[in-house]
Structure 1
Amino acid sequence: MSGLEGKRIAITRPKERSQAAVDMVNDLGGIPLIVPTLELEAVASKSLMALYQKAGELDWIIFTSPASLESLFKFCPDFKEKLNPHCKVAAIGPRTGRVLEDYGITVDIVPTDYTAEGLLEEFKHITLKGKKVGIPRTFKARDVLPDGLKERGAIVYLAEAYRSTTPQDTSQVELLVEEVIQGKVDAITFTSPLTVTNFFQLAEDKKEELIKFLINGPTLVVAIGPITQKPLEELGIPSIAPSKYTVKDMLLRLEEEFSNDT
């Protein structure tokens, strides 16, 4: 029997990104609770249009999420045709790489460590001085990647492809906070630092009680990787994470933890 059998598992990632996690929790016998603490809004920003205009000059383009490339192709459907034919492409992880391939774009680099730091490690032995690098993403993302590329001499064009915001309807998150405090949630999953910070921001006056419960209570907290664990650690909340930073590995790590407790 699966370690998730009958367990209520909260999924805090954006609704349009949650289906794979929901299906997997169901397959493992768990009860998925879809409670997005983050919403993604594609935007035809000035910086995105500027990147589109520079497509023919780019030496590299880096995609750090499926949302960034989906937004780019939504507003610039002929981007692939405009792109410098010699431009190389990097994706932060295999899922983003698969979506790129769906658009008919060959991926040159996918790091073994699916983080900005992992991408920078891959570029360690690649000459970047004077190279033009485009990065469509949310402006709320960390600056580790663009700063690291600039330090190596790259000319970086950041483009806002989508906005990450708190949900307009916060009632589901408020209910989740109550249920966590009441011990009705077996585990809560986080797939980015923003899903963490938004959750506690939306807890409002229940925040301190929620933190105390997650430090001392039975609810398991699982993060997709160490970058997502960081804001949890800052709050003193213990969490577990997989060795590979994917949703599948995160849920398998959670199942393993529950199985070890039985």
Structure 2
Amino acid sequence: MSDLQGKRILITREAKQAKVFSEKISASGGIPVEVPLLKISNKVAENREFIFAKLPSYHWVIFTSANGVHCFFEQLPNHLTSLLENIKIAVVGHKTEEALKQYQFVADLMPEVYDADSLAEIFLKKYQAGETILLVRGNLSRDVLPRVFTKKGIGFDAIEVYETQMNRESAALLKRVIAADEIDFITFTSPSTVEAFAELSGNYTAIPCVCIGTTTKKAAEEHGFSSILTAQIFTIEGMIEEMRNHIN
């Protein structure tokens, strides 16, 4: 067996995204167990027409997730796409940039540490007074950037282009998987996955969990997990590497 030594690893992220994670775990010698605890869907924002009409006036568009990128471009009329060529784009990390590249755009700004706090820090160093900002979000996106911008007196517009909901249909499957006592690691790729697991499992926290980053780790701590691994690089590859190191 290879690095993950046949360990059974619970994947809690949304179904479409879970497939890639499963493939990487299998390739590393682990056994993925998919129980998607979230559902992600396009959301038509009330201010969408206003934002799209105003698009030429923005100096920056900020994406804080790959979901935000995909849902934004799915909703953006084709004839407006070229307007982004004249707008600077900031992303939270390289997975978000990979999503951006699918639409033939490259980020102008990306932090070395893939979280909103780091993005806020480097963005403020690049931002020039008077520049206008469009922040692309989901309904459960963290308020780090809005809070920083408000504190600094920086005006911005925000548009919610996707919605994350708890996948209650997975509750019975989740409980069966846990009851079988065959899971070696639970993986959490966002605070939302932690919260969904806690609610749908009855807050079962005895199994070691692996978190994609420090924000997710904080959510796991708040829900009572005592054995927590946190990726050094905030990606699913980083999570796999952390499990490898722990096992070996």
TM-score (norm 2): 0.92
Aligned position for 2:82: 81
1:162-211 deviations in whole A, cap 9, x for unaligned? Answer: 000011523xx4332343254211111000000000111122xx33xx13
Corresponding residue for residue 224 of structure 2: 236
Change (3 A) 1:34 1:49: farther
For 1:33 and 1:42, locate their aligned partners in 2 and report how far apart those are by CA, in whole Å: 26
| Aligned position for 1:253 | 242
State percent identity of aligned pairs: 29
Distance 1:11 1:93 in 2: 21
Q: Is the 8 A contact 2:37 2:168 kept in 1?
A: no
TM-score computed with the length of structure 1 as normaliser:
0.88
Superposed CA RMSD in Å reads: 1.7
Contact 1:190 1:196 in 2 (8 A): yes
Q: How does 1:1-262 map to 2 (within 5 A)?
A: 1-78=1-78, 79-83=80-84, 85-170=85-170, 173-203=171-201, 206-207=202-203, 210-211=204-205, 214=206, 219-238=207-226, 239-259=228-248
Shift of 1:126: 2.4
**Aligned equivalents of 2:16, 2:49: Cα separation in 1:** 24
Tell me, what secondary structure is at the counterpart of 2:47?
helix
Q: Which runs of 5+ in 2 are unaligned?
A: none
Cα displacement (A) at 1:106: 2.5
Separation in structure 2 between the aligned mates of residue 228 and residue 21 of structure 1, nearest angstrom: 17
Which runs of 5 or more residues in structure 1 are unaligned? none
Farther-moved stretch of structure 1 (47-56 vs 245-254): 47-56
Q: Write the letter of the residue equivalent to 1:195.
A: T
Dislocated runs of 4+, deviation >6 Å: none
- Asked whether the equivalents of residues 129 and 152 of structure 1 are also in contact (C-alpha less than 8 Å), the reply is no
Select between 47-56 and 60-69 the one with higher mean Cα deviation: 47-56
Q: Specify whether residues 75 and 124 from structure 1 end up closer, same or farther in structure 2 by C-alpha distance, changes over 3 A only.
A: closer
Structure 2 counterpart of 1:250, one-letter code: M
Paired residue total: 246
